Amino acid sequence: MDAAVSRRAACACGQLALDCRGEPVRVSICHCHDCQRRTGAPFGWQVRFPAEAVAPSGEAAHFRRTADSGRAIDFRFCPRCGSTVWWTMDRDPGLVVVAGGAFADATLPPPSVEVYAARRHGWTAMPALAGIESHP
Ligand SMILES: [Zn+2]
Ligand SMILES: [Zn+2]
C-alpha cells in the first residue's frame, strides 16, 4: 500500500465527499439486483478501504438495508443529489466500501472479484476481467 496516494470520492453535486488514503484493499463488481437499482447501471463497483484510511466531509443521508446474507448494510448518500458515495457493512465494520464511480478517477486499480455473476446482463462482456475471481 502506498500511503502517499490519496483519492477523493464525491457525489454528483460535490457537497458530500470521502477522502481515501492509500490503495484500496479490494476492488470488486457486483451484478446483484440491489446494486443495479442503487446505481442505475448493469452492475455495482465497490472499492474497499480500511475505515481508518477514509475521512468524510459534507452532509450524508442514510439508508439501511438487509443483504441476502441477512446482515445489514448502511449506505451514505447525498440528500441533495441522491448519489451514494460509500457504505459500511455490519459484517465487517473495519471496512468502508466506496462507490467506484464516485472517484471519477481512471487510476483506480481494476476489480479482482466479481459477485453475483449469475445476474450479469449478457451484453456486459468483460474481456479485461478474464482473470477475475467469481462468487455466486
Ligand atoms: Zn450531492
Ligand atoms: Zn450487489
Q: So what's the pLDDT on residue 63?
A: 96
Whole-number Å distance, alpha carbon 46 to ligand 2 midpoint, is 9
Residue 136 in domain: no
Average pLDDT over residues 118-131: 76
Residue 18 in domain: yes
pLDDT in tens, 84-94: 999 999 999 99
pLDDT in tens, 20-60: 999 999 999 999 999 999 999 999 999 999 999 999 999 99
Query: pTM for the full model?
Result: 0.91
What is the domain-level CATH number for residue 112?
3.90.1590.10
φ, ψ at 7 (rounded to 5°): -130, 150
Cell numbers placing 41:
447501471
Whole-number Å distance, alpha carbon 13 to ligand 1 midpoint, is 4
Residue 48 in domain: yes
Residue 106 has pLDDT above 90, yes or no: yes
Residue 131 in domain: no
Residue 54 in domain: yes
Number of domains the chain contains: 1
Range of the domain at 68: 6-121
Residue 41 in domain: yes
Whole-number Å distance, alpha carbon 79 to ligand 1 midpoint, is 7
Average pLDDT over residues 128-135: 63
User: Which residue in this structure is represented by grid cell 466500501?
Assistant: 97
CA distance 119 to 116: 6
Q: Which value, to the nearest 10 degrees, does the dihedral of the CA atoms of residues 53, 81, 41, 94 take?
A: 20
Q: So what's the pLDDT on residue 136?
A: 63
Residue 68 in domain: yes
Residue 130 in domain: no
Q: Are 22 and 48 contacting, i.e. CB atoms less than 8 angstroms apart? A: no
Whole-number Å distance, alpha carbon 115 to ligand 2 midpoint, is 7
Cell numbers placing 16:
458530500
